[in-house]
Amino acid sequence: MNNNTNREHFSSRLGVLLAMAGGSIGLGNMWRFPYLVGKNGGAAFILVYLVFVVFLCLPILVSEYALGRRTQKNAFGAFRALSENKKWSLIGIFAVSAAVCVLSFYCVVGGWSVKYLLEALLFKMPILDSEYFGGFISSSWSPLIYTLIFLGMTGGVLVLGIQKGIERFSKVMMLLLFVLIVLIAIRSVTLPGAAEGIKYLFVPDLSALDGKAALEALGQSFFSLSIGCGTVLTYGSYVKKEENIVSTSFLVALFDTTFALIAGLAIIPAVFAIAYMNGVTPEIGAGPGLVFITLPAVFNEMPMGGFIAILFFLSLLIAAITSAISLMETFVTYEIEEWKVSRGKAVNIAFAICSVLGVFCSLSQGVLSKIKLFGLNIFDFFDKLSANVLMTGGGLLLVLFVGWSMKKEDYIDELSNGHTNGIPAWLLSTIYYLVKFVAPITIIVVTIANFIL
CB neighbourhood size of 303 (10 A): 9
Q: Is residue 2 part of a domain?
A: no
| Residue 302, C-beta contacts closer than 8 angstroms, at least 6 positions apart | 187, 191, 270, 273, 274, 308
Q: Is residue 91 part of a domain?
A: yes
For residue 3, pLDDT over 60 is answered with no
Give, in order, the Cα–Cα distances in Å from 400 to each of 1, 18, 34, 440, 443. Answer: 21, 29, 31, 7, 11
For residue 284, pLDDT over 80 is answered with no
CA distance 91 to 78: 10
The residues facing 376 across adjacent strands are: 373
pLDDT band at 436, cuts 50/70/90? very high
CATH number at residue 223: 1.10.4160
pLDDT tens figures, 123-166: 887 777 888 999 999 998 999 999 999 999 999 999 999 999 99
pLDDT tens figures, 50-83: 999 999 999 999 999 999 999 999 999 999 998 8
Q: What is the pLDDT of residue 86?
A: 76
The residues facing 373 across adjacent strands are: 376
Type and span of the H or E element at 51: helix 43-52
Backbone angles phi, psi at 4, to 5 degrees: -130, 65
Give the range of the structural domain holding residue 46, as residue numbers without chain letter: 13-452
Residue that wins the pLDDT comparison between 239 and 28: 239
For residue 388, pLDDT over 70 is answered with yes
Q: Is residue 323 part of a domain?
A: yes
Averaged pLDDT score across all residues of the chain: 90
Residue that wins the pLDDT comparison between 446 and 9: 9
Give, in order, the Cα–Cα distances in Å from 110 to each of 39, 116, 224. Answer: 22, 10, 15
Backbone angles phi, psi at 244, to 5 degrees: -90, 100
Residue that wins the pLDDT comparison between 275 and 358: 358
Q: Is residue 4 part of a domain?
A: no
Tell me what percent of the residues of the chain surpass a pLDDT of 90.
67
Tally of domains within the chain? 1
Residue that wins the pLDDT comparison between 50 and 383: 50
Q: Is residue 215 part of a domain?
A: yes
CA distance 294 to 272: 11
For residue 88, pLDDT over 80 is answered with yes
Q: Is residue 441 part of a domain?
A: yes
**Rg value, the chain, Cα:** 21
Q: Is residue 281 part of a domain?
A: yes
Q: What is the pLDDT of residue 452?
A: 67
**Cβ distance 78 to 67 under 8 Å?**
yes
CA distance 421 to 66: 14
Q: Is residue 140 part of a domain?
A: yes
For residue 285, pLDDT over 60 is answered with no
Backbone angles phi, psi at 243, to 5 degrees: -70, 145
Identity of the residue numbered 64: E
pLDDT tens figures, 166-222: 999 999 999 999 999 999 999 999 999 999 999 999 998 887 777 788 888 888 898
Q: What is the pLDDT of residue 162?
A: 96
The residues facing 290 across adjacent strands are: none
Mean pLDDT of 404-417: 93
3-state secondary structure 259-327: HHHHHHHHHHHHHHHHHHHHCCCCCCCCHHHHCCCHHHHHHHHCCCHHHHHHHHHHHHHHHHHHHHHHH
Angle at which helices 168-189 and 13-24 pack, to 10 degrees? Answer: 60
Q: Report the half-sphere exposure of 192 (CA within 13 A, side-chain side).
A: 7
For residue 321, pLDDT over 60 is answered with yes
CB neighbourhood size of 113 (10 A): 26
Look up the pTM and report it: 0.93
Burial 192-217 (b: 16+ CB within 10 A, else e): ebbebbbebbeebeeeebeeebbbbb
- CA proximity to 370, closest of 359, 378, 381: 378
